[in-house]
Amino acid sequence: MKLWGGRFSGETSEIVKQFGDSFLFDCCLLPYDLRANAAHARMLGHCGILKEEDAEKIASTLEKILLEFEQGKVSPEGPFEDVHSFVEAKLAEDLPSLAGNLRIARSRNDLVAADLRLFLKEAIGQVARAVILLQEVLLCLARDHKDVALPGYTHLQHAQPILLSHHLLAYFQMLNRDLSRFAQALAETDVSPLGAGALGGTSWPIDPEYTAQLLGFSRVFENSLDAVSDRDFVIQFHGAASILAMHLSRFSEELILWSTAEFGFIELADEMCTGSSLMPQKKNPDLPELVRGKSGRVFGNLMGVLTVMKALPLAYNKDLQEDKESLFDTVDTVLGCLDAMRAVLSSVKVNKKRMETNLSPFLVATDLADELVKAGHKFSEAHELVGKMVQYCLDHGKRLTRLSPDELSRFSPNAGSLKPGKLTPRASLARKGSRGSTRMGSVEDGIKNAEVILRKNQKTWES
């Protein structure tokens, strides 16, 4: 069924149909298209544009089709240009005399924008709730391993000792900012475009606020041209999803490293791994590797829609057909990555002994420099002196924390009275008293704060 044709003298070429039809993928929007059309029909009746009984017949029939679709009795298939022509054809089967009036004061341009916004509102909620579930797992791990210490790294080199719980809470906070970005994306998506028409509005006495209310939108468009032309709300979601995917990818990389024989900090559950067809000993961390790999796919989808939009004149152009497949893919990919990470972390085994065995004495070098400052040195001098001590230890096979007073005095008269043996990694952790630090007390405060945040997030995003 075509929604146009009177101006044309011949049949549409098959290449136009094959290349231009979008029903193969925009059929995903069927439930949203049915809802949007039903709301539009009721608005037409509410405003006296259609008889109320006719408008209700149209809306009720559309809702019947929606119910049958949800029950698996209606399948979105057939030789249709797009989801909109499929819906009108299904409506015409039951209401042949009324179906054609559904297009009064409504274009596919504002309809598809409404469908996309309804879909994305729902998808953002799904993603946000999946993020919260992952936050729950991180918080549980942080509680269960509150006192486990391990080397902290910069440049993948030993830097300072930290608590594993501190490390996990860092990702909790990253995910929390991701939720804030999804909330912003939701706010920009929650705008009804219905009533904008093709681009310039309509001469019919419509009530867009009524339609928005029926569909659960919080507000209505301000400019009809903007309403049908832009997809910045889609881009905003892609941006939030890309940052989330980046965070998941970084964490995945650490899980992969930590599960190697060289690190041995964690062991992934057997049911979360795969093996090799050739090497019997292998236990491969496929899930975090795939999360790491799929982040690039999400980034690519963001760049794709940005490229589609970058040179489009107002208002609607067929290029906008390309906003959908990448959006559907990003939603599915991000949800899959969140599920995978939650499964991996829910079953991970932490090797506390291996983590703490790797706490090198050099991890307290900064603490030793701080002690030299207290003994009268400028920090720049202390930094230089401790650097020389480290080199001395490396050259002579010594431990920094076991240098004798005589050895320390070679570097500075003020250093002879220091007691580096008391500067253990655990002591270093206890010295960190600043806000948000890796000291046990600070981490306990961080866990309590995360619990408050989690409850707030659960309340905000409850389905």
CATH number of the domain enclosing 71: 1.10.275.10
Question: Is pLDDT of 6 > 60?
Answer: no
Query: Would residue 83 count as lying in a domain?
Result: yes
**Range picked from 8-22, 235-249, 394-408 for highest mean pLDDT:** 235-249
Q: Is residue 417 annotated as a catalytic residue, yes or no?
A: no
Range of the domain at 370: 361-431
Position 4 scores a pLDDT of: 46
Residue from 9, 155, 203, 396 carrying the catalytic annotation: 155
Query: Would residue 387 count as lying in a domain?
Result: yes
Question: Is pLDDT of 389 > 70?
Answer: yes
Residue from 75, 276, 380, 417 carrying the catalytic annotation: 276
Q: What percent of the chain has pLDDT over 90?
A: 88
Q: What percent of the chain has pLDDT over 70?
A: 96
Q: What's the chain's average pLDDT?
A: 94
Exposure string (b/e) for 348-373, b if CB count within 10 Å is 16 or more? bebbeeebbebbebbbbbbbbbbbbe
Q: Report the CATH number at residue 377.
A: 1.10.40.30
Nearest residue to 121 (alpha-carbon basis) of 220, 228, 216? 216
Write the DSSP string, 136-169.
Answer: HHHHHHHHHTTT-EEEEEETTEEEEEEEHHHHHH
pTM of the model: 0.93
One domain for residues 380 and 334? no
Question: Is pLDDT of 393 > 90?
Answer: yes
Position 190 scores a pLDDT of: 99
One domain for residues 241 and 296? yes
Question: Is pLDDT of 395 > 80?
Answer: yes
Question: Is pLDDT of 15 > 80?
Answer: no
Query: What's the number of domains the chain is made of?
Result: 3
Q: Is residue 276 annotated as a catalytic residue, yes or no?
A: yes
- Give the tens place of pLDDT for each residue, 121-177: 999 999 999 999 999 999 999 999 999 999 999 999 999 999 999 999 999 999 999
One domain for residues 270 and 371? no
- Give the tens place of pLDDT for each residue, 430-454: 999 899 999 999 999 999 999 999 9
